[in-house]
Amino acid sequence: MENRKVLKSGEFLVSEIEANDIFIPEEFNEEQLMIAQTCRDFLNAEVIPNIDKTEKQDRELMKSLLKKSGELGLMGISVPEEFGGFGQSFVTQMLAAETIGAGYSFSVAFMAHCGIGTLPIMYYGSYDQRQQYVTRLVTGELLGAYCLTEPGAGSDANSGKTNARLSEDGRHYVLNGQKMWITNAGFADVQTVFAKIGNDRVLSAFIVEKEFPGVVVGPDEHKMGIKGSSTAQIYYNDVKVPVENLLGKPGEGFRIALSILHMGRIKLGANVLGAAKKAIDHSVQYANERKQFGMLISAFGAIKHKLAGQVIRVFALESAIYRVSKDIDDLIEKYKSEGCDKGRASIDGISHYAVEAAILKVYGSEMLDFVIDEAVQIHGGMGYSAEMAVEKGYRDSRINRIFEGTNEINRLLVVDTAMKRAMKGDFDLFGEAEKIYGELDRLAAAKDSGSADYYSEKLNAIKNFKKIALIAIHGASKQFDKKLVQEQEVLFNISDIISEIYIAESLALRVKKLESMKGATAVSLYKDMLDVVVYDAAGIVAKNAYDAIYSFAAPEDSAKLTKAIDILAAVKGVNVKEARRRIADKLISDNAYKF
């Protein structure tokens, strides 16, 4: 894998890579699996037995659980050794994030601390700031929070009103303002706070200690889910922040905020995997115990359909998560080899893959909502009872479509960021789109040769989905030009097409690589998953393409465009009923997610 081909962010739309060029979860090494097991053991020993107590908003209990995880070293997985961490790869960080994701509210508090609570200082702080704060955040001696959102500034983060003015003696910034929806607010010792200096139009970032006079933390919010996680407002009343606690440069706060959000999005994609796998375990175990009409409900086709649907979405997301995680690792190493500071190399490597981060955040959060909703349905009336874990999982899941930028904002980012990367010259999106548009007549008359082998057939179908994406991007760009940004419905259509492509391609490459490692017999069920994903994606891609085309094309053009879509979205039919039943039967036999 040393000389593997690595695509830039969004480049998958116009380029293909070989299966051997991607990393797959089946390649985790022994150390990575041991770290995941340590996380799992901690959840089972300390967190899960206390979940009901944390739900009662016991700040001290959650604080003690976090500190215990710090004592075990779990908080230092992503931090370099020189600052007290383990300096693990991004792939390993994502595996830990996935495993911790099964921890309900604890996972929210833990991920907020380890990610947005610690890493802004690690990535953007001076050496002294890292020594003073990161070394203690890693052990759990200090707990961290990230303070960006305000009552009037949510998705539009740069519109915040919190202000910092330089004191007359030049030794402090005097901070005034209000932050809301702050995770870990109730017990965080250190806060990364975003504010505008004086009359600046852009944000700066500051390291603020809870004990600074004038910092006031409000009571915990009463939330639908993640009740064990402390979420509160924080008020800053003439808080004197030493000038040496400015994080990065003046005016760099917006860049810091965006970069940290990219990281949060991609890690959320891993986090929801752990929650989804736990929900699947609950689903199948209940289905294997519950009898109706004289037989276990796991024997019914309707239940098998649901169980298989859960598994397929999880396995597909997992394929994409670790594919891009390895790409990020390689880019970080490249930046470090060019002399970049470790912290900046890490955040720049993560931020580069903004297109994929937004895809995985949207797809992952909606995947978990689907999986946990089906888990409740499989439980029937018991699923609605607070006695059952799936009820808690259902409530906890809903926040993920709002966290780290709403899914609406992230859908817009997928398209906008891909187009901006192309304009910068990272890859030739518009040239390829122009070429496809010029071939519409030929595409509309094309016939399927039907002679491709299994993987070529699947990857050719996905390649055709890419052509559909390019047709939609080209047509919408030509029609709306600079007003495209206002056509959010069309951008949503294009974004969903792009997401289906990345997920399906990641799955196809994973299954193909796995077959080369373990043989055809070992991957028969994974081929069933790939069959279903490509078959389903064809319908989703076509529907979104039609919606986009009818939004921008003149009647005389739409007929030609839709005919091309019909050809490009056509895939070989599969017996999805039997494919799903085979997947479900393995799950039912194992009585747990073991894919």
Tell whether 474 and 581 lie within a shared domain.
yes
273 falls within a domain: no
| Residue 227: DSSP 8-state | T
166 Cβ contact list (under 8 Å, min separation 6) = 172, 173, 174, 197, 198, 243
Model confidence pLDDT, tens digit, residues 262-275: 899 999 999 999 99
Domain stop point among 78, 107, 142: 142
Tell whether 83 and 210 lie within a shared domain.
no
Q: What is the DSSP string of 465-515?
A: HHHHHHHHHHHHHHHHGGGGGG-HHHHHHHHHHHHHHHHHHHHHHHHHHHH
127 falls within a domain: yes
Which of these is catalytic: 11, 98, 374, 404?
404
| Mean pLDDT taken over the chain | 93
Q: Label residue 77 by pLDDT band (50, 70, 90).
A: very high
What is the count of structural domains for the chain? Answer: 3
H-helix or E-strand spanning residue 431: helix 429-438
Q: Which pLDDT score, from 0 to 100, does residue 1 have?
A: 42
Residue 457 bears catalytic tag: no
Tell whether 84 and 227 lie within a shared domain.
no
Model confidence pLDDT, tens digit, residues 37-73: 999 999 999 999 999 999 888 889 999 999 999 999 9
552 falls within a domain: yes
pLDDT at 446 over 80: no
Q: How far apart are CA 508 and CA 25, in angstroms?
A: 14
Q: Which pLDDT score, from 0 to 100, does residue 56 have?
A: 87
Domain stop point among 142, 168, 195: 142
133 falls within a domain: yes
Provide the CATH number for the domain around residue 19: 1.10.540.10
Tell whether 150 and 114 lie within a shared domain.
no
329 falls within a domain: no
Tell whether 106 and 181 lie within a shared domain.
no
Q: Which pLDDT score, from 0 to 100, does residue 557 have?
A: 85
Per-residue CA distances from 328 to 23, 193, 413 (Å): 11, 27, 19
Q: Is 58 helix (H, G, I), strand (E, B) or coil?
A: coil
Tell whether 89 and 152 lie within a shared domain.
no
Tell whether 491 and 578 lie within a shared domain.
yes
Provide the CATH number for the domain around residue 549: 1.20.140.10
Tell whether 46 and 162 lie within a shared domain.
no
192 falls within a domain: yes
pLDDT at 472 over 90: yes
Give the global pTM.
0.95
Range of the domain at 63: 11-142
Provide the CATH number for the domain around residue 205: 2.40.110.10
Tell whether 104 and 159 lie within a shared domain.
no
